[in-house]
Chain A
Amino acid sequence: MTREEIVEKVNNFLVEEIEIERDLLKDDARLKEDLKIDSLDFVDIVVIVERNFGFKIKPEEMKDVKLLSQFYDYIEQQLSK
Protein backbone atom coordinates (compact mmCIF):
# COMPACT_ATOMS: atom_id res chain seq x y z
CA MET A 1 0.00 0.00 0.00
CA THR A 2 1.46 3.37 -1.00
CA ARG A 3 1.79 6.31 1.36
CA GLU A 4 -0.96 8.11 -0.60
CA GLU A 5 -3.29 5.15 -0.22
CA ILE A 6 -2.62 4.98 3.51
CA VAL A 7 -3.28 8.71 3.90
CA GLU A 8 -6.51 8.45 1.93
CA LYS A 9 -7.71 5.43 3.92
CA VAL A 10 -6.87 6.98 7.30
CA ASN A 11 -8.41 10.31 6.37
CA ASN A 12 -11.56 8.62 5.14
CA PHE A 13 -12.14 6.75 8.39
CA LEU A 14 -11.28 9.79 10.48
CA VAL A 15 -13.95 11.73 8.57
CA GLU A 16 -16.58 9.03 8.22
CA GLU A 17 -16.25 7.09 11.47
CA ILE A 18 -14.61 9.45 13.95
CA GLU A 19 -16.44 12.41 12.35
CA ILE A 20 -13.53 14.83 12.21
CA GLU A 21 -13.88 17.63 9.67
CA ARG A 22 -11.79 16.92 6.58
CA ASP A 23 -10.37 20.46 6.56
CA LEU A 24 -8.61 19.73 9.86
CA LEU A 25 -6.69 16.75 8.49
CA LYS A 26 -3.31 18.36 7.85
CA ASP A 27 0.05 16.63 8.32
CA ASP A 28 0.97 18.84 11.26
CA ALA A 29 -2.41 18.51 13.01
CA ARG A 30 -1.97 17.46 16.64
CA LEU A 31 -4.10 14.38 17.37
CA LYS A 32 -5.28 15.49 20.82
CA GLU A 33 -5.31 19.27 20.66
CA ASP A 34 -6.37 19.90 17.04
CA LEU A 35 -8.32 16.78 16.11
CA LYS A 36 -9.77 16.34 19.63
CA ILE A 37 -9.10 12.59 19.63
CA ASP A 38 -9.52 11.48 23.24
CA SER A 39 -8.70 8.16 24.91
CA LEU A 40 -12.13 6.68 24.09
CA ASP A 41 -11.89 7.75 20.44
CA PHE A 42 -8.51 6.11 20.34
CA VAL A 43 -10.05 2.76 21.34
CA ASP A 44 -12.34 3.03 18.32
CA ILE A 45 -9.37 3.92 16.11
CA VAL A 46 -7.66 0.72 17.27
CA VAL A 47 -10.78 -1.22 16.19
CA ILE A 48 -10.97 0.57 12.83
CA VAL A 49 -7.26 0.13 12.07
CA GLU A 50 -7.54 -3.57 12.84
CA ARG A 51 -10.50 -3.82 10.44
CA ASN A 52 -8.91 -1.70 7.68
CA PHE A 53 -5.23 -2.62 7.87
CA GLY A 54 -5.32 -6.01 9.58
CA PHE A 55 -3.02 -5.29 12.53
CA LYS A 56 -3.52 -4.29 16.14
CA ILE A 57 -2.11 -0.97 17.33
CA LYS A 58 -0.05 -1.41 20.48
CA PRO A 59 -0.66 1.59 22.77
CA GLU A 60 2.98 1.61 23.94
CA GLU A 61 4.10 2.11 20.35
CA MET A 62 1.89 5.18 20.06
CA LYS A 63 3.66 7.07 22.88
CA ASP A 64 5.56 9.35 20.55
CA VAL A 65 2.84 9.66 17.93
CA LYS A 66 1.56 13.20 18.43
CA LEU A 67 0.91 14.47 14.90
CA LEU A 68 -1.24 13.10 12.11
CA SER A 69 1.83 12.70 9.88
CA GLN A 70 3.43 10.53 12.60
CA PHE A 71 0.29 8.41 12.67
CA TYR A 72 0.57 7.85 8.90
CA ASP A 73 4.26 6.96 9.47
CA TYR A 74 3.34 4.47 12.17
CA ILE A 75 0.81 2.71 9.94
CA GLU A 76 3.26 2.68 7.06
CA GLN A 77 5.96 1.13 9.27
CA GLN A 78 3.61 -1.53 10.60
CA LEU A 79 2.47 -2.46 7.10
CA SER A 80 6.01 -2.74 5.88
CA LYS A 81 6.93 -5.28 8.58
Chain B
Amino acid sequence: MVSGKRVVITGMGIYSCLGRNLDEVAVSLRAGRSGIGIDPQRTEYGYRSPLTGLVERPQLKGVLDRRSRVCLPEQGEYAYMATAEALRNAAIDMDYLEENEVGVLFGSDSSAKAVIDAHTTAMRTKDTTLMGSGAIFQSMNSTVTMNLSTIFKLRGVNMTISAACASGSHAIGLGLMFIRNGLQDVVICGGAQETNYLSMGSFDGISAFSVRVDDPTKASRPFDRHRDGLVPSGGAACVVLEDYDHAVKRGAPILAEVVGYGFSSNGVNISQPSDKGSYIAMQRSLIDAGLTAMDVDYINAHATSTLQGDMFEAMAIDELFGPYKTPVSSTKSMTGHECWMAGASEVVYSILMMQGSFIAPNINFEEPDEYSEKLNIIAHTQEQNIDIFLSNSFGFGGTNSALVVRKIK
Protein backbone atom coordinates (compact mmCIF):
# COMPACT_ATOMS: atom_id res chain seq x y z
CA MET B 1 0.00 0.00 0.00
CA VAL B 2 1.30 3.42 -0.92
CA SER B 3 1.71 5.76 2.02
CA GLY B 4 0.66 9.38 2.07
CA LYS B 5 -2.37 11.42 2.87
CA ARG B 6 -5.81 9.81 2.69
CA VAL B 7 -7.95 11.17 -0.13
CA VAL B 8 -11.72 11.42 0.11
CA ILE B 9 -14.56 12.57 -2.10
CA THR B 10 -16.46 15.43 -0.48
CA GLY B 11 -18.78 16.32 -3.34
CA MET B 12 -19.90 15.03 -6.70
CA GLY B 13 -22.04 16.11 -9.61
CA ILE B 14 -23.35 14.56 -12.80
CA TYR B 15 -25.00 15.67 -16.02
CA SER B 16 -25.70 12.82 -18.40
CA CYS B 17 -28.27 11.07 -20.54
CA LEU B 18 -29.54 9.46 -17.32
CA GLY B 19 -30.40 12.79 -15.71
CA ARG B 20 -29.31 16.35 -15.06
CA ASN B 21 -28.26 15.87 -11.44
CA LEU B 22 -27.47 13.21 -8.84
CA ASP B 23 -31.10 12.66 -7.80
CA GLU B 24 -32.37 12.11 -11.34
CA VAL B 25 -29.45 9.84 -12.20
CA ALA B 26 -29.87 7.74 -9.03
CA VAL B 27 -33.49 7.07 -10.00
CA SER B 28 -32.48 6.10 -13.56
CA LEU B 29 -29.74 3.78 -12.33
CA ARG B 30 -32.05 1.94 -9.97
CA ALA B 31 -34.77 1.70 -12.63
CA GLY B 32 -32.33 0.46 -15.29
CA ARG B 33 -33.48 3.23 -17.61
CA SER B 34 -31.64 3.68 -20.91
CA GLY B 35 -30.67 7.15 -22.07
CA ILE B 36 -30.11 6.08 -25.70
CA GLY B 37 -32.03 7.38 -28.70
CA ILE B 38 -31.75 8.47 -32.33
CA ASP B 39 -30.12 11.66 -33.65
CA PRO B 40 -31.56 12.27 -37.15
CA GLN B 41 -28.72 14.72 -37.98
CA ARG B 42 -26.30 11.79 -37.95
CA THR B 43 -28.17 9.99 -40.70
CA GLU B 44 -28.22 13.15 -42.78
CA TYR B 45 -24.48 13.70 -42.18
CA GLY B 46 -23.63 10.19 -43.39
CA TYR B 47 -23.26 8.20 -40.19
CA ARG B 48 -23.58 4.48 -40.32
CA SER B 49 -25.45 4.62 -36.98
CA PRO B 50 -27.65 7.48 -35.69
CA LEU B 51 -27.72 6.03 -32.14
CA THR B 52 -26.47 8.22 -29.30
CA GLY B 53 -27.01 9.10 -25.67
CA LEU B 54 -29.51 11.96 -25.57
CA VAL B 55 -28.22 14.75 -23.36
CA GLU B 56 -30.22 17.92 -22.85
CA ARG B 57 -28.23 21.16 -23.27
CA PRO B 58 -28.39 23.27 -20.11
CA GLN B 59 -29.64 26.85 -20.37
CA LEU B 60 -26.86 29.00 -18.93
CA LYS B 61 -28.06 32.47 -19.94
CA GLY B 62 -28.70 34.26 -16.68
CA VAL B 63 -26.51 31.72 -14.86
CA LEU B 64 -23.11 32.59 -16.37
CA ASP B 65 -22.01 35.92 -17.82
CA ARG B 66 -21.62 36.34 -21.58
CA ARG B 67 -17.85 36.00 -21.68
CA SER B 68 -18.02 32.68 -19.81
CA ARG B 69 -20.74 31.36 -22.09
CA VAL B 70 -19.04 32.45 -25.31
CA CYS B 71 -15.92 30.48 -24.37
CA LEU B 72 -17.74 27.31 -23.31
CA PRO B 73 -18.19 24.46 -25.79
CA GLU B 74 -21.02 21.97 -25.35
CA GLN B 75 -19.00 19.66 -23.09
CA GLY B 76 -17.87 22.67 -21.07
CA GLU B 77 -21.51 23.48 -20.32
CA TYR B 78 -22.01 19.97 -19.00
CA ALA B 79 -18.79 20.25 -16.99
CA TYR B 80 -19.99 23.51 -15.47
CA MET B 81 -23.28 21.93 -14.41
CA ALA B 82 -21.59 18.86 -12.87
CA THR B 83 -18.93 20.96 -11.13
CA ALA B 84 -21.44 23.43 -9.71
CA GLU B 85 -23.41 20.53 -8.25
CA ALA B 86 -20.27 18.89 -6.85
CA LEU B 87 -19.05 22.10 -5.21
CA ARG B 88 -22.49 22.74 -3.67
CA ASN B 89 -22.49 19.24 -2.22
CA ALA B 90 -18.95 19.70 -0.95
CA ALA B 91 -20.02 22.91 0.81
CA ILE B 92 -17.51 24.91 -1.22
CA ASP B 93 -18.71 28.36 -2.28
CA MET B 94 -17.07 31.25 -4.12
CA ASP B 95 -15.85 32.75 -0.84
CA TYR B 96 -14.04 29.52 -0.05
CA LEU B 97 -12.52 29.41 -3.55
CA GLU B 98 -11.25 32.97 -3.20
CA GLU B 99 -9.56 32.22 0.08
CA ASN B 100 -8.18 28.75 -0.64
CA GLU B 101 -6.12 27.13 -3.37
CA VAL B 102 -8.16 24.53 -5.26
CA GLY B 103 -6.99 22.61 -8.33
CA VAL B 104 -8.80 21.20 -11.35
CA LEU B 105 -8.01 18.11 -13.43
CA PHE B 106 -10.54 17.00 -16.03
CA GLY B 107 -10.40 14.29 -18.62
CA SER B 108 -11.25 15.46 -22.13
CA ASP B 109 -9.91 14.43 -25.51
CA SER B 110 -11.66 16.51 -28.15
CA SER B 111 -13.53 19.65 -28.90
CA ALA B 112 -14.43 18.78 -32.44
CA LYS B 113 -17.47 20.97 -33.04
CA ALA B 114 -15.66 24.18 -32.14
CA VAL B 115 -12.81 23.34 -34.51
CA ILE B 116 -15.12 22.36 -37.36
CA ASP B 117 -17.40 25.40 -36.88
CA ALA B 118 -14.41 27.77 -36.98
CA HIS B 119 -13.07 26.08 -40.10
CA THR B 120 -16.49 26.26 -41.78
CA THR B 121 -16.67 30.01 -41.05
CA ALA B 122 -13.22 30.62 -42.51
CA MET B 123 -14.01 28.60 -45.62
CA ARG B 124 -17.20 30.62 -46.14
CA THR B 125 -15.85 34.09 -45.33
CA LYS B 126 -12.10 33.82 -45.95
CA ASP B 127 -11.74 35.81 -42.71
CA THR B 128 -10.60 34.32 -39.39
CA THR B 129 -11.89 37.28 -37.37
CA LEU B 130 -15.39 36.13 -38.19
CA MET B 131 -14.79 32.91 -36.21
CA GLY B 132 -15.61 35.07 -33.19
CA SER B 133 -13.86 35.51 -29.87
CA GLY B 134 -14.90 32.19 -28.33
CA ALA B 135 -13.58 29.90 -31.06
CA ILE B 136 -10.01 29.64 -29.79
CA PHE B 137 -11.07 28.97 -26.19
CA GLN B 138 -13.67 26.42 -27.25
CA SER B 139 -11.32 24.65 -29.66
CA MET B 140 -8.38 23.83 -27.45
CA ASN B 141 -8.08 20.43 -25.88
CA SER B 142 -7.85 22.03 -22.44
CA THR B 143 -11.07 23.98 -22.99
CA VAL B 144 -12.88 22.38 -20.06
CA THR B 145 -10.27 23.09 -17.42
CA MET B 146 -9.44 26.57 -18.79
CA ASN B 147 -13.12 27.47 -18.53
CA LEU B 148 -13.77 25.87 -15.14
CA SER B 149 -10.69 27.49 -13.62
CA THR B 150 -11.81 30.89 -14.87
CA ILE B 151 -15.46 30.56 -13.83
CA PHE B 152 -14.68 29.18 -10.38
CA LYS B 153 -11.54 31.32 -9.82
CA LEU B 154 -9.32 28.29 -9.24
CA ARG B 155 -5.67 28.81 -8.37
CA GLY B 156 -4.29 25.31 -7.91
CA VAL B 157 -3.12 22.69 -10.39
CA ASN B 158 -4.95 23.29 -13.67
CA MET B 159 -4.77 20.94 -16.64
CA THR B 160 -6.67 18.57 -18.89
CA ILE B 161 -5.84 14.89 -19.13
CA SER B 162 -6.22 13.38 -22.58
CA ALA B 163 -6.17 9.61 -22.47
CA ALA B 164 -8.95 8.58 -24.82
CA CYS B 165 -11.79 6.74 -23.09
CA ALA B 166 -9.82 6.46 -19.86
CA SER B 167 -9.35 10.25 -19.56
CA GLY B 168 -11.84 10.82 -16.73
CA SER B 169 -10.49 7.92 -14.70
CA HIS B 170 -6.86 9.02 -15.05
CA ALA B 171 -7.92 12.55 -14.03
CA ILE B 172 -9.20 11.17 -10.73
CA GLY B 173 -6.12 8.99 -10.33
CA LEU B 174 -3.82 11.96 -10.86
CA GLY B 175 -5.89 14.09 -8.49
CA LEU B 176 -5.44 11.34 -5.92
CA MET B 177 -1.68 11.54 -6.37
CA PHE B 178 -1.55 15.33 -6.06
CA ILE B 179 -3.38 15.19 -2.73
CA ARG B 180 -1.78 12.02 -1.44
CA ASN B 181 1.64 13.62 -1.93
CA GLY B 182 0.64 16.75 -0.08
CA LEU B 183 0.79 19.05 -3.12
CA GLN B 184 -2.88 20.06 -2.97
CA ASP B 185 -5.64 19.93 -0.36
CA VAL B 186 -8.55 19.99 -2.79
CA VAL B 187 -8.69 19.08 -6.49
CA ILE B 188 -11.84 19.17 -8.63
CA CYS B 189 -11.66 16.13 -10.91
CA GLY B 190 -13.89 14.84 -13.63
CA GLY B 191 -14.52 14.16 -17.25
CA ALA B 192 -16.49 15.83 -20.02
CA GLN B 193 -17.69 14.62 -23.40
CA GLU B 194 -19.39 16.38 -26.29
CA THR B 195 -22.39 14.66 -27.94
CA ASN B 196 -22.89 16.75 -31.08
CA TYR B 197 -22.94 14.93 -34.43
CA LEU B 198 -19.70 16.60 -35.57
CA SER B 199 -17.73 14.99 -32.75
CA MET B 200 -18.30 11.31 -33.51
CA GLY B 201 -18.28 10.92 -37.28
CA SER B 202 -14.78 9.49 -37.51
CA PHE B 203 -15.49 7.04 -34.67
CA ASP B 204 -18.63 5.92 -36.53
CA GLY B 205 -16.44 5.64 -39.63
CA ILE B 206 -14.53 2.66 -38.24
CA SER B 207 -17.80 0.75 -37.73
CA ALA B 208 -17.46 0.79 -33.96
CA PHE B 209 -21.09 1.73 -33.32
CA SER B 210 -24.13 -0.47 -32.89
CA VAL B 211 -26.61 -0.31 -35.76
CA ARG B 212 -29.52 -1.74 -33.79
CA VAL B 213 -31.66 1.25 -34.69
CA ASP B 214 -34.99 -0.55 -34.50
CA ASP B 215 -34.82 -0.56 -30.70
CA PRO B 216 -32.32 2.07 -29.45
CA THR B 217 -32.61 1.17 -25.77
CA LYS B 218 -31.51 -2.39 -26.61
CA ALA B 219 -28.51 -1.30 -28.68
CA SER B 220 -25.93 -1.02 -25.90
CA ARG B 221 -25.59 -4.52 -24.51
CA PRO B 222 -22.18 -5.06 -22.92
CA PHE B 223 -21.14 -8.70 -22.43
CA ASP B 224 -24.24 -9.97 -24.27
CA ARG B 225 -23.56 -12.52 -27.00
CA HIS B 226 -25.58 -10.50 -29.52
CA ARG B 227 -23.84 -7.13 -29.02
CA ASP B 228 -22.90 -5.38 -32.23
CA GLY B 229 -20.96 -2.32 -31.12
CA LEU B 230 -21.05 0.64 -28.78
CA VAL B 231 -23.36 3.64 -28.62
CA PRO B 232 -21.60 7.01 -28.19
CA SER B 233 -22.79 9.28 -25.43
CA GLY B 234 -21.60 12.13 -23.24
CA GLY B 235 -22.17 14.79 -20.60
CA ALA B 236 -19.93 15.47 -17.64
CA ALA B 237 -19.16 14.17 -14.19
CA CYS B 238 -17.25 15.72 -11.33
CA VAL B 239 -15.87 14.64 -7.98
CA VAL B 240 -14.26 16.91 -5.41
CA LEU B 241 -11.18 15.14 -4.07
CA GLU B 242 -9.88 16.33 -0.73
CA ASP B 243 -7.28 15.49 1.85
CA TYR B 244 -9.14 13.56 4.56
CA ASP B 245 -7.79 15.63 7.46
CA HIS B 246 -8.57 18.83 5.59
CA ALA B 247 -12.14 17.66 4.97
CA VAL B 248 -12.66 16.70 8.59
CA LYS B 249 -11.23 20.03 9.76
CA ARG B 250 -13.64 22.07 7.68
CA GLY B 251 -16.59 19.79 8.50
CA ALA B 252 -17.10 18.73 4.89
CA PRO B 253 -19.42 15.87 3.97
CA ILE B 254 -17.36 12.76 3.22
CA LEU B 255 -18.95 10.56 0.57
CA ALA B 256 -16.21 7.96 0.02
CA GLU B 257 -12.46 7.42 0.00
CA VAL B 258 -10.39 6.90 -3.14
CA VAL B 259 -7.95 4.23 -2.03
CA GLY B 260 -6.38 2.88 -5.20
CA TYR B 261 -5.30 3.91 -8.67
CA GLY B 262 -3.79 1.51 -11.16
CA PHE B 263 -2.63 2.23 -14.68
CA SER B 264 -0.95 0.48 -17.56
CA SER B 265 -0.44 0.67 -21.26
CA ASN B 266 -0.91 -2.32 -23.54
CA GLY B 267 1.83 -1.40 -25.99
CA VAL B 268 0.23 -3.54 -28.67
CA ASN B 269 -2.41 -2.09 -30.97
CA ILE B 270 -4.05 1.30 -31.43
CA SER B 271 -7.63 0.04 -31.22
CA GLN B 272 -7.47 -3.45 -29.78
CA PRO B 273 -7.66 -3.83 -25.99
CA SER B 274 -5.71 -6.38 -24.02
CA ASP B 275 -6.61 -8.68 -21.15
CA LYS B 276 -3.04 -8.43 -19.87
CA GLY B 277 -3.02 -4.63 -19.74
CA SER B 278 -6.45 -4.53 -18.08
CA TYR B 279 -5.32 -7.08 -15.52
CA ILE B 280 -2.20 -5.09 -14.65
CA ALA B 281 -4.20 -1.88 -14.11
CA MET B 282 -6.73 -3.63 -11.86
CA GLN B 283 -4.07 -5.50 -9.91
CA ARG B 284 -2.04 -2.33 -9.45
CA SER B 285 -5.08 -0.45 -8.13
CA LEU B 286 -5.67 -3.16 -5.55
CA ILE B 287 -2.03 -3.17 -4.45
CA ASP B 288 -2.17 0.63 -4.23
CA ALA B 289 -5.25 0.30 -2.02
CA GLY B 290 -3.69 -2.38 0.18
CA LEU B 291 -6.54 -4.71 -0.74
CA THR B 292 -7.02 -8.01 -2.50
CA ALA B 293 -9.57 -9.09 -5.10
CA MET B 294 -11.59 -10.78 -2.38
CA ASP B 295 -12.29 -7.40 -0.72
CA VAL B 296 -14.11 -5.88 -3.72
CA ASP B 297 -17.92 -5.92 -3.54
CA TYR B 298 -18.67 -4.60 -7.01
CA ILE B 299 -16.89 -4.02 -10.31
CA ASN B 300 -18.11 -1.28 -12.63
CA ALA B 301 -16.81 -2.67 -15.89
CA HIS B 302 -15.50 -0.59 -18.75
CA ALA B 303 -17.37 -2.91 -21.16
CA THR B 304 -18.66 -0.79 -24.03
CA SER B 305 -20.60 -3.44 -25.97
CA THR B 306 -17.91 -4.14 -28.53
CA LEU B 307 -17.02 -7.73 -29.37
CA GLN B 308 -13.32 -7.55 -28.58
CA GLY B 309 -13.32 -5.01 -25.75
CA ASP B 310 -15.85 -6.88 -23.66
CA MET B 311 -14.12 -10.17 -24.34
CA PHE B 312 -10.70 -9.00 -23.17
CA GLU B 313 -12.15 -7.33 -20.08
CA ALA B 314 -14.15 -10.44 -19.20
CA MET B 315 -10.96 -12.51 -19.47
CA ALA B 316 -9.07 -10.08 -17.20
CA ILE B 317 -11.85 -9.87 -14.60
CA ASP B 318 -12.20 -13.64 -14.56
CA GLU B 319 -8.47 -14.08 -14.08
CA LEU B 320 -8.32 -11.67 -11.12
CA PHE B 321 -11.74 -12.06 -9.51
CA GLY B 322 -12.83 -15.48 -10.82
CA PRO B 323 -12.89 -17.38 -7.50
CA TYR B 324 -14.95 -14.70 -5.75
CA LYS B 325 -17.69 -14.29 -8.36
CA THR B 326 -17.63 -10.55 -7.70
CA PRO B 327 -20.77 -8.80 -9.01
CA VAL B 328 -20.08 -6.95 -12.27
CA SER B 329 -22.16 -4.54 -14.32
CA SER B 330 -21.48 -2.09 -17.09
CA THR B 331 -23.56 1.05 -16.70
CA LYS B 332 -22.75 1.74 -20.35
CA SER B 333 -25.67 -0.59 -21.05
CA MET B 334 -27.85 2.38 -19.99
CA THR B 335 -25.65 5.39 -20.76
CA GLY B 336 -23.84 4.26 -23.88
CA HIS B 337 -20.14 4.99 -23.99
CA GLU B 338 -19.49 8.34 -22.38
CA CYS B 339 -15.93 8.25 -23.71
CA TRP B 340 -13.67 10.95 -22.17
CA MET B 341 -16.15 11.38 -19.33
CA ALA B 342 -16.82 7.71 -18.63
CA GLY B 343 -14.08 7.10 -16.07
CA ALA B 344 -15.41 9.93 -13.92
CA SER B 345 -19.13 9.33 -14.45
CA GLU B 346 -18.81 5.68 -13.59
CA VAL B 347 -17.21 6.55 -10.27
CA VAL B 348 -20.19 8.84 -9.61
CA TYR B 349 -22.66 6.13 -10.66
CA SER B 350 -20.93 3.59 -8.43
CA ILE B 351 -20.94 5.94 -5.43
CA LEU B 352 -24.69 6.49 -5.97
CA MET B 353 -25.06 2.70 -5.83
CA MET B 354 -22.90 2.60 -2.70
CA GLN B 355 -25.10 5.24 -1.08
CA GLY B 356 -28.30 3.47 -2.08
CA SER B 357 -27.03 -0.07 -1.37
CA PHE B 358 -27.85 -1.44 -4.81
CA ILE B 359 -26.12 -2.58 -7.96
CA ALA B 360 -27.38 -0.91 -11.11
CA PRO B 361 -28.15 -3.45 -13.79
CA ASN B 362 -26.21 -4.38 -16.89
CA ILE B 363 -29.39 -4.05 -18.96
CA ASN B 364 -29.77 -6.03 -22.17
CA PHE B 365 -27.54 -8.81 -20.86
CA GLU B 366 -29.70 -11.66 -22.08
CA GLU B 367 -27.34 -14.33 -23.31
CA PRO B 368 -23.68 -14.60 -22.25
CA ASP B 369 -20.87 -15.61 -24.56
CA GLU B 370 -18.09 -18.03 -23.62
CA TYR B 371 -16.18 -15.26 -21.81
CA SER B 372 -18.95 -13.38 -20.01
CA GLU B 373 -20.55 -16.60 -18.82
CA LYS B 374 -17.68 -16.90 -16.35
CA LEU B 375 -18.58 -13.60 -14.68
CA ASN B 376 -21.29 -12.74 -12.15
CA ILE B 377 -22.98 -10.11 -14.31
CA ILE B 378 -25.89 -8.36 -12.63
CA ALA B 379 -28.61 -8.06 -15.29
CA HIS B 380 -31.35 -6.77 -12.97
CA THR B 381 -31.14 -4.23 -10.17
CA GLN B 382 -29.86 -5.97 -7.08
CA GLU B 383 -30.14 -4.70 -3.51
CA GLN B 384 -26.68 -5.12 -2.04
CA ASN B 385 -24.33 -3.34 0.33
CA ILE B 386 -21.21 -2.02 -1.38
CA ASP B 387 -18.24 -1.18 0.85
CA ILE B 388 -15.59 -1.27 -1.87
CA PHE B 389 -15.89 -1.02 -5.64
CA LEU B 390 -13.46 -1.04 -8.53
CA SER B 391 -14.08 0.96 -11.69
CA ASN B 392 -12.34 0.13 -14.97
CA SER B 393 -11.59 2.46 -17.88
CA PHE B 394 -9.68 1.58 -21.02
CA GLY B 395 -8.94 3.63 -24.11
CA PHE B 396 -7.52 3.68 -27.62
CA GLY B 397 -3.77 3.35 -27.73
CA GLY B 398 -4.00 0.81 -24.93
CA THR B 399 -4.27 3.22 -22.02
CA ASN B 400 -5.80 1.57 -18.95
CA SER B 401 -6.96 2.92 -15.59
CA ALA B 402 -8.60 1.32 -12.58
CA LEU B 403 -9.82 3.10 -9.46
CA VAL B 404 -10.73 1.56 -6.11
CA VAL B 405 -13.16 3.45 -3.89
CA ARG B 406 -14.16 2.58 -0.33
CA LYS B 407 -17.08 3.62 1.82
CA ILE B 408 -16.15 5.74 4.82
CA LYS B 409 -17.46 4.23 8.03
Q: Which of B64-72, B193-201, B267-275, B344-352 contacts A (4 or more CB under 8 A)?
A: B64-72
Task: Tell me if B129 counts as interface (CB < 8 A to partner A).
Answer: yes
The residues in B between 45 and 75 inclusive whose CB is less than 8 angstroms from any CB of A are 65-67, 70
Instruction: Pick the residue among B65, B66, B67, B130 that contacts A47 (CB under 8 A).
Output: B130
Given A19-B65, A19-B66, is A44 in contact with B132 using a C-beta cutoff of 8 Å? yes
The 8 A CB mask of B129-161 against A (1 = contact, 0 = none) is: 110111000000000000000000000000000
> Is the contact region of chain B dominated by helix, strand, or loop, or is it mixed?
helix
The answer to the question of A65 belonging to the interface, with a C-beta cut-off of 8 Å to chain B, is: no
Would you call B95 an interface residue if the criterion is a C-beta within 8 Å of the partner chain's C-beta atoms? no
Which residues of B (91-137) have their CB < 8 Å from a CB of A?
125, 127, 129-130, 132-134
CB distance from A59 to the nearest CB of B (A): 9
Nearest CB in chain A to that of B125: its residue: A50
The answer, yes or no, to whether A41 is at the interface (CB within 8 Å) is yes
Cβ contact of B67, chosen from A40, A46, A50, A56, cutoff 8 A: A40
| Interface magnitude class on chain A | 10 to 19
For B374-388 the 0/1 string (1 means CB < 8 A from A) is 000000000000000
Residues of B within 8 A of A47 (CB): 129-130, 132
Is A44 a contact of B127 with CB atoms below 8 Å?
no
Please measure, in the bound complex, the distance between the C-alpha atom of A46 and the C-alpha atom of B132, giving whole angstroms.
8
Q: A18-B66, A19-B66 are in contact. Are A41 and B133 (CB under 8 A)?
A: yes
Least Cβ distance of A19 to chain B in Å? Answer: 4
- The number of residues on chain B lying at the interface, defined by a beta carbon within 8 Å of a beta carbon of chain A, is 11
Q: Tell me the bound Cα distance from A40 to B65 in angstroms.
A: 14
Q: Closest approach, in angstroms, between the C-beta of A38 and any C-beta of chain B?
A: 8
Structural contact, B65 and A43, CB atoms closer than 8 A? no
Please report the C-alpha to C-alpha distance between residue A47 and residue B129 in the assembled complex, in whole angstroms. Answer: 7
Residues from chain A with a CB closer than 8 A to the CB of B127 are 56
Are B129 and A43 closer than 8 Å at their CB atoms? yes
Kindly list chain B residues whose C-beta atoms are within 8 Å of the C-beta of A44.
70, 132-134
The listed residue (A19, A40, A50, A56) touching B133 by CB distance below 8 A is: A40
A50 partner residues in chain B, CB cutoff 8 A: 125, 130
* A56 to B: closest C-beta gap in Å: 7
Q: How far is the CA of A44 from the CA of B66 in the complex (A)?
A: 11
Interface residues of B in 294-332 (CB under 8 A from A): none
Interface string of A11-44 (1 = CB under 8 A from B): 0000000110000000000000000000011011
Q: Which residues of B contact A56 (CB under 8 A)?
A: 127, 129-130
B129-A46 in contact (CB<8A):
yes
Kindly identify, within residues 185 to 205 of chain B, every residue whose CB is under 8 Å from any CB belonging to chain A: none
Contact A43–B133 (Cβ < 8 Å): yes
Give the complex CA separation of A56 and B121 in angstroms: 14
A36 to chain B, nearest CB (A): 10
Chain B residue at minimum C-beta to C-beta distance from A50: B130
Bound complex: CA of A50 vs CA of B134, how far in Å? Answer: 17
> Chain A residues with Cβ under 8 A from B65's Cβ?
19
Expressed in whole angstroms, the Cα–Cα distance for A47 and B121 within the complex equals: 11
* CB closest chain-A residue, reference B121: A47
Residues of the B chain whose Cβ atoms lie less than 8 Å from the Cβ of A46: 129-130
Q: Which residues of A contact B67 (CB under 8 A)?
A: 40-41
Q: State in angstroms the CA–CA spacing of A50 and B130 once bound together.
A: 8
Shortest distance from the beta carbon of A31 to any chain B beta carbon, whole Å:
15
Q: Quick one: which of A18, A19, A43 contacts B132, CB cutoff 8 A? A: A43
C-alpha gap A58/B70 in the complex (Å): 22
A residues near B134, Cβ cutoff 8 Å: 44
Q: Which residues of B contact A43 (CB under 8 A)?
A: 129, 132-133
Q: Cβ of B130: which chain A residues have Cβ within 8 Å of it?
A: 46-47, 50, 56
- Chain A nearest CB from B136 CB (Å) reads 10
The answer for the CA separation of A44 and B125 in the assembled complex, in Å, is: 15
Q: Which of A40, A41, A46, A56 has the most chain B CB within a 10 Å cutoff?
A: A40
Q: How far is the CA of A1 from the CA of B125 in the complex (A)?
A: 24
Chain A residue nearest in CB terms to B135:
A43
Q: Name A41's closest neighbour in chain B (CB-CB).
A: B133
CA distance A45 to B129 in the complex (A): 10
8 other contacts beyond A43-B133, A47-B129, A56-B130, with CB at 8 A cut-off? A40-B133, A43-B132, A44-B70, A44-B132, A44-B133, A47-B132, A50-B130, A56-B129
9 shortest interchain CB distances as A-B pairs: A43-B133, A40-B133, A19-B66, A47-B132, A44-B133, A47-B130, A46-B129, A44-B132, A50-B130
Ordered by A's residue number, 6 sampled pairs between the chains whose C-beta atoms are within 8 Å are A40-B133, A43-B132, A43-B133, A46-B129, A46-B130, A47-B129
